[in-house]
Amino acid sequence: MSKVQYAPGKWTADSIMFTKRREAHGALAVRHGRSMGGTSAYALLGPDMTMPGAATNNPPSAIGAGWDLPWGGVGGPGLCFTQDGNQTWVRAHLINGEWEGSGASWANLTPMTSGGNANHKWVEARMKTYLQNFRAFDKNNNGGHNNYWYGLQYWVQVSIDPWAAPPAAGGNLYSYAPNMIKVTWRIVTLPKPAPGTWPWSAPAVAGTPAWIEATPALTPATMATIGPDLPNIPNNNIPAVLVNNAANLAGVGGLVYALPPGAPAIPAVASPYDGTVEIMQD
């Protein structure tokens, strides 16, 4: 929850206003003429995402050819992902379902092994800890009367390279799963609305989410503010690569799909808490 100043010296009650904003998704991945899963996603995550009642529950529900139904056309795999007896596959969210990420759209899902998805969940848990620290600042610093928020920019890019070993023929099921996903995050600050943007409390609470969507510029957070503002934020101990099977290290550093239309470019690292990780399939 957040407070914003709607008139000089007058603040709204603590309200859920800054959860997920500015979401963007790329097109579906097309491999051997068949679409399966998303290519990229972006969201700006806010501290109110961690408040009771703010988190959503969007389990994966997208189905269709390749996942749980036979592939159409000639030359495709003889089985779908749910029929694979060698791996347990999940429809992994690009933007977490608890962060309002869709589970019904393949643009926000990609096939991942259970091991790869577990590593992604570990990264998401660290991002949630960051958001909890942002919330603690907004609630406790200066009695909640702060003129800026902390937020988290979060990009996910799916690898162009498939998990199948070359030449990755169209009849190979693993040709339709990415080799890895690349997750990048940056801590930023953004200003709260200036006093007088709304005449009283109720429209300020109602209007702030759309205002965040459209208005404020983001400033990379550096240690000059993170140090005093976020004293309990944990160290960034996420490695550059998460892989369970050493044989998959050969795929590290592969090409990924472009950022989605409308998503900002990834800025330079501004603090030790910013990072990037390649999460391999297994």
pLDDT higher than threshold 90 for residue 176: yes
- Closest Cα to residue 71, out of 24, 36, 116? 36
Give the pLDDT confidence score for residue 52 in this predicted structure. 78
From the list 185, 176, 180, the residue with the least C-alpha distance to 158 is 180
Q: Per-residue confidence at 169, pLDDT binned at 50, 70, 90?
A: confident
Give pLDDT tens digits for 179-228: 999 999 999 999 999 999 999 999 999 999 999 999 889 999 999 999 99
Q: What is the CA radius of gyration of the chain?
A: 21
pLDDT band at 1 (very low <50, low <70, confident <90, very high): low
Query: In this predicted structure, what is the pLDDT of residue 25?
Result: 98
What is the structure's pLDDT at 216?
A: 84
Q: Average per-residue pLDDT in the chain?
A: 93
More confident of the two residues 46 and 250: 46
Is the CB of residue 3 less than 8 Å from the CB of residue 11? yes
- Contact between 162 and 177 under an 8 Å Cβ cutoff? The reply is yes
pLDDT digits (tens, 9 = 90+) for 76-125: 899 999 999 999 999 999 999 999 999 999 999 999 999 999 999 999 99
